[in-house]
Structure 1
Amino acid sequence: MQFPAPYRRSAAAFAAVTALIFSGASTPAFAAQDPVKYVNLGDSYSSGWGSLAPTAAVNPEYNSPACMQGGPADAAMFDQLQSVALAGDYACAGATVGDSNSGIPTIAQQAAKASLDGALNSTTGLVTLTAGGNDVNFGQIIGACAADMSPEATGCQAATAYGVDLANRLSVAATVGTIRGYAGNAKIVWLGYPRLFATAGESTTVISGGGVMSAAAAAVFDKGTDQLNAVLASKARSAGAQFVDVTPKFAGHEIGSSDSWINLGPYTQFNFHPTAEGYSEGYYPAMVSAIKPAQLAKG
């Protein structure tokens, strides 16, 4: 039977490819994508503080007690992806956006150290960080709200309002600009903070406010967290960075819920920070979903 010319050409091509395969001749291979070079900066929420409570250690990038980390967290999990290669983790518990007298490296100082080490440069494709909570005195606000037993939590309202005012003064754009000055081709991702306290309206709530503060104060504090995240999101996006909201991932897992992912117990220095589950089930999936590292590596 005589096939039309197009079919004869197709059959001949198929026969040629088959001959190559069975003869052991090599065929062209697809080039593997290089993983995106990744650097992690930030405060305690970036440093895994609480992930291995009561364990903490000096960040080996500094070899100084001025920079402490709590253990493997979302940055280390990100590094396990084939599309990501962690070049350096410079996050320090207690870090701030603005200047500080604590001796703990600020975000800008972390970036400078990462650049000096050769981890942060024009080949860097991704930088992540959490920052801002220490600048607005998160811990002091928790203390003020915990002490407020008034029906409307007026003292807590005043404390959170002052925190939001401080947030509005944060130099997020300057911080993003500093990072971009070292790594002009990097995607910069600013991560937000979770709500810390369960509220009465949640189906998983055991104790509204977790026994730390009144239900009214807990609601005010969580609203203040939302406001802080909103300020950080607006400032980060205006500076050309991406903001990742983690609050949906922590919904139903706050302090006072039946399945809390926030530390609260005898190891007080780790209180109000995520547990190992908070990092692995909260921060990490939020990052993967928002950043899409496989696509970033292709880019």
Structure 2
Amino acid sequence: MRPFRLAAFASSLVAATTLALTGAGAAQAAGSAAPVDYVALGDSYSSGVGSGGYDSASGDCKRTPRAYPALWAAANSPSSFAFTACSGARTNDVTSGQLGPLNASTDLVSISIGGNDAGFADVMTTCVLQSESRCLSRIATARAYADTTLPGRLDSVYDAIRAKAPSARVVVLGYPRFYKLNGSCIAGLTERERAAINGGADHLNAVTAKRAADHGFTFGDVTPAFTGHEICSGDSWINSLNLLNITESYHPKAAGQSRGYLPVLDALA
């Protein structure tokens, strides 16, 4: 009888262990699928300018269901979703007008900010309309601003987010490089200007990533996702100069939101 009892005991032990592990696994799965309260902040790169289909109720903020925050919410069904990103927003606009939905229950925050503070629109206007030397000078001014003034402004935004949403995971999204160098473009800016604009985006991303890390936030670098899909690539996910709708110039198209930004947020959320 002893061998039978030993076998029965072993079988019971395996069954009990399996049941316990299955229960733990189910609990873990349930935990990972817990409802998420999500708030999307930021500028035009977060509101979705350039991708079309704007919600008329958002007015000049030009929020759209084609923007990566709305796409993420549609795919993940968070328990709540507040979308306050706004075209043209600077850091002080975020702190003064976008943080209302944040609270102690907020689980996830996404944000892109800093490009307008550094003069993104003026850089591109200068480079398109003026000489190469003026373009390069304007980019140098923007880089100096990113080094000296922008870090403090980002700190103010990040401090305010953490104060209102102390437990949230905060994902800070960067900006893509605009141009594929030595690509298919045969007119417009010089290669030197394009390279300098790309370098300016890299510099802004580096400054932003450092400030995000110092606050315990996660930085999402979208540069790899957009590589091969810049202006002059032949398969651009970024609008070039659009004279019919100037505000959409140099912003991600719908493909840039869904295939450039969304996968980065999805991997980090």
Q: What TM-score do you get using the length of structure 2 for normalisation?
A: 0.84
Identity of matched residues, %: 34
1:286 alignment partner, one of 249, 264, 267: 264
How many residue pairs match? The answer is 254
Give 1:133 deviation, angstroms. Answer: 1.0
Distance in 2 separating the partners of 1:134 and 1:173: 16
Alignment of 1:36-185 (within 5 A): 36-52=36-52, 55-59=53-57, 65-82=59-76, 84-98=78-92, 106-114=93-101, 120-149=102-131, 153-168=132-147, 169-170=149-150, 171-185=153-167
Distance in 2 separating the partners of 1:97 and 1:246: 20
What residue number does 2:170 align with?
Answer: 188
Distance in 2 separating the partners of 1:259 and 1:122: 42
Would the alpha carbon gap of residues 82 and 92 (structure 1) be closer, same or farther in structure 2, given more than 3 Å must change? closer
Report Cα offsets for 1:152-198 as digits up to 9, x if no partner.
x3322210111122223121111111011111101112111011122
Distance in 2 separating the partners of 1:165 and 1:28: 53
Would the alpha carbon gap of residues 148 and 66 (structure 1) be closer, same or farther in structure 2, given more than 3 Å must change? closer
What residue number does 1:215 align with?
Answer: 191
Q: Does 1:236 align with 2:212?
A: yes
Unaligned runs of 5+ residues in structure 2 are 17-22
Answer with 1 or 2: which has the greater Rg: 1
Unaligned runs of 5+ residues in structure 1 are 17-26, 99-105, 115-119, 294-299
Give 1:14 deviation, angstroms. Answer: 8.6
2:200 alignment partner, one of 202, 224, 232: 224
Distance in 2 separating the partners of 1:128 and 1:29: 29
Would the alpha carbon gap of residues 256 and 125 (structure 1) be closer, same or farther in structure 2, given more than 3 Å must change? same
Give 1:137 deviation, angstroms. Answer: 1.4
Q: What TM-score do you get using the length of structure 1 for normalisation?
A: 0.76
Would the alpha carbon gap of residues 86 and 167 (structure 1) be closer, same or farther in structure 2, given more than 3 Å must change? farther
- Kept in 1, the 8 Å contact 2:49–2:247? The answer is no
